[in-house]
Amino acid sequence: MRPEKEFWEWCGWTYHPNWKVCWQSPKKYNSEKPPPMTLDNLFKHAVPKLYESGYYYELIQWNEGQHKAIIKKVTHTDTHDNLGWEVTAFDAVDKDPAQALYKAILEVIPK
């Protein structure tokens, strides 16, 4: 559960291990567990955090029923020997589009 715990905390949820109902949403609603990993919940909680961090995403159908999520960040570079744009990208593939997006987002969460 460790990556999932870190994921939801990155999305703004708070984990209180000593509480009976130990998860608290960003809007201060309490729950026994974080929300299920669905596209609806990812778009509600994680995608806005991606945008705040300067990332954007693509979610596409891939080979044979697979889905591919790509997380990108474009930054302007202005160094002595390099002037232009740099693209940082992370991707993940899964049959479940929510899992593909979740796995790709995990790559951009600071460790």
Beta-ladder partners of 79: 82
- Residue 111 located in a structural domain: no
Amino acid letter for position 15:
Y
Q: Which domain holds residue 14?
A: 2-106
pLDDT digits (tens, 9 = 90+) for 20-56: 778 988 888 888 889 999 999 999 999 999 999 999 9
**Can you give the pTM of this predicted structure?**
0.84
Cβ contact 92:103 at 8 Å: yes
How many separate domains does the chain show? Answer: 1
Q: Is the dihedral of CA 98, 44, 13, 31 positive or negative?
A: negative
Has residue 41 been placed in a domain? yes
Residue 1 has pLDDT above 50, yes or no: no
In a domain, 28, yes or no: yes
Q: Which of 17-21, 31-35, 59-63, 71-75 has the lowest mean pLDDT?
A: 17-21
DSSP state of 21: S
Q: Mean pLDDT across the chain, nearest whole number? A: 89
